[in-house]
Amino acid sequence: MNEKEIVRLSKRLSSWLRHRPEAIGLDPDSAGWVRVDDLLRLSAARGHRFTRAHLESVVERNNKKRFEFDDTGVMIRARQGHSIPVDLGYEPADPPAVLYHGTGERTVPVILAEGLLPMQRHAVHLSADLDTATNVGSRHGRPAVFTVDTAAMCRDGHVFYVTGNGVWLTDEVAPEYLELRTAS
């Protein structure tokens, strides 16, 4: 598969595995897993044919590493970003002292007033490095990056989780833990 095909299939999988599994008749379990065979069969029945090898290419080569197979290779799921109810089963983890959140600069006033909220997702997504946060923010227009004082949040009892692709998750981030780093 070329990069354009990987991106196209990744977007389709994101829709089905994170937001609208019913669109092709999928029924994820409580942790978001679906059988690979069901995914292939149901997508083909709706005119979207791809192979197990195509799925493996997306899982392996997608630059955001959004998807994962279970240990047996029989099941697949999105690692984070769901708007459907799921319990991803991640264990609490100790984050670095600071993390970053990238967004579009148009959302800065709301974030400064209300903090970071999960919106239609299950958790707030944070990045371990400034470059990743800036890239995430760029997807939403001119990027703005917030530094998140995770050390203070941990002291105050907030819990963090890290996904297999290095995305940090938490329920919300109040304004007092945020500092606007850039707004360029």
Stretch (H or E) spanning 76: strand 75-78
What is the average pLDDT across 126-139? 93
User: Is a pLDDT exceeding 80 seen at residue 104?
Assistant: yes
Of the candidates 151, 35, 171, the residue with the CA atom closest to the CA atom of residue 99: 151
What is the average pLDDT across 110-139? 92
User: Is a pLDDT exceeding 60 seen at residue 183?
Assistant: no
Residues 165-179: b if buried by 16+ CB within 10 A, e if exposed: eebbbbeebeeebbe
In the block, residue with structure tokens 């148009």: 106
User: Is a pLDDT exceeding 70 seen at residue 80?
Assistant: yes
What is the average pLDDT across 30-50? 96
- What's the CATH fold of domain 98-182? ADP-ribosylation fold (3.20.170)
Instruction: Report the alpha-carbon distance of residue 159 to residue 182 in Å, rounded.
Output: 26
- Please report the pLDDT score of residue 105 as a whole number: 92
pLDDT tens figures, 142-165: 999 999 999 999 999 999 999 988
- Please report the pLDDT score of residue 182 as a whole number: 54
Residue extents of the structural domains in the chain: 3-78, 98-182
The CATH architecture that domain 3-78 belongs to is Orthogonal Bundle (1.10)
pLDDT tens figures, 88-99: 888 999 999 999
Instruction: Report the alpha-carbon distance of residue 93 to residue 50 in Å, rounded.
Output: 36
Q: How confident is the model at residue 37 (pLDDT cuts 50, 70, 90)?
A: very high
Give the 3-state secondary structure of residue 111: helix
What mean pLDDT, rounded, does the chain reach? 93
